[in-house]
């Protein structure tokens, strides 16, 4: 039997499902058993598999990572509609609360990052912080003028060698209300690809650093 690299994190991974918007069932994977939760929200056309490097990393450091499939993606019920992204994140927050979470963080990529920021503006569902990885503007999910009201501490991660992605990330950063930091990685990769590429370790550590700062 071979020896796994030292950076591989082992954690208990459990399939979950819960009620989502429009009578759809949302499904995902829960990694870890901590009372501090990170809800991981993928972008349009992707699924929860992209979160595996980060989910294991966080679970190995005391968090519960809940990676969900948005409606019409992965194992969750069809169909996909952009307007369902924010309600799906809100449903994931409620699920985390039902599991006795003591602190909830939102981590999203692409339109999932926009949905996480929009969900964090709901005063009834306060979150500890938000991480937006390569946010992708989509007015069908939420307008940039709306998401600026997400006042929890925010971290924006983006690959700086993609001008379009960098432009959107900087627009989100400039419009943010409340604490907000931005990390630009010198790569063209975006979204969850940032977490597994040549700068993956650095990106994951930046996310963890942001989360633990909110304790």
- In whole angstroms, how far apart are CA 64 and each of 19, 29, 93, 99, 127? 19, 10, 13, 11, 15
Cβ pair 74, 91 in contact under 8 A: no
> Which residue in this structure is represented by tokens 């597994």?
196
Cβ pair 171, 142 in contact under 8 A: no
Q: What is the reported pLDDT for 86?
A: 98
Helix (H) or strand (E) holding 206: helix 200-212
For the chain, domains (ranges, CATH) are 13-212 (3.40.50.1820)
Sign of the Cα torsion 146, 147, 153, 159 reads negative
Neighbours of 8 (CB within 10 A): 11
For 117-140, write each residue's pLDDT tens digit.
999 999 888 999 999 999 999 999
pTM to 2 decimals? 0.94
Residues of the chain with confidence (pLDDT) below 70: 1-11
β-pairing, 129-135 vs 180-185, is unpaired
């Amino acid at each position: 039997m071979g020896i796994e690299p030292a950076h591989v994190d082992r954690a208990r991974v459990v399939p979950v499902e819960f009620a989502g918007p429009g009578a759809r069932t949302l499904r995902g994977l829960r990694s870890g058993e901590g009372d501090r939760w990170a809800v991981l929200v993928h972008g349009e056309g992707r699924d929860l598999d992209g979160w595996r490097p980060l989910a294991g990393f966080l679970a190995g450091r005391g968090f519960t990572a809940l990676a969900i499939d948005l409606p019409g993606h992965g194992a969750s019920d069809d169909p996909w509609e952009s307007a369902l992204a924010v309600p799906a994140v809100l449903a994931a927050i409620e699920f985390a609360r039902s599991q006795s979470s003591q602190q909830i963080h939102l981590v999203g990529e692409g339109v999932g990052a926009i949905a996480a920021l929009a969900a964090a503006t709901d005063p009834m569902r306060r979150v500890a912080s938000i991480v937006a990885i390569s946010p992708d503007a989509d007015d069908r999910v939420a307008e940039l003028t709306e998401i600026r009201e997400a006042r929890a501490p925010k971290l924006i991660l983006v690959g700086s060698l993609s001008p379009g992605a960098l432009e959107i990330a900087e627009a989100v950063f400039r419009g943010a209300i409340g604490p907000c930091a931005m990390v630009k990685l010198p790569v063209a990769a975006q979204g969850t690809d940032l977490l597994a590429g040549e700068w993956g370790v650095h990106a994951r550590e930046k996310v963890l650093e942001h989360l633990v700062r909110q304790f």
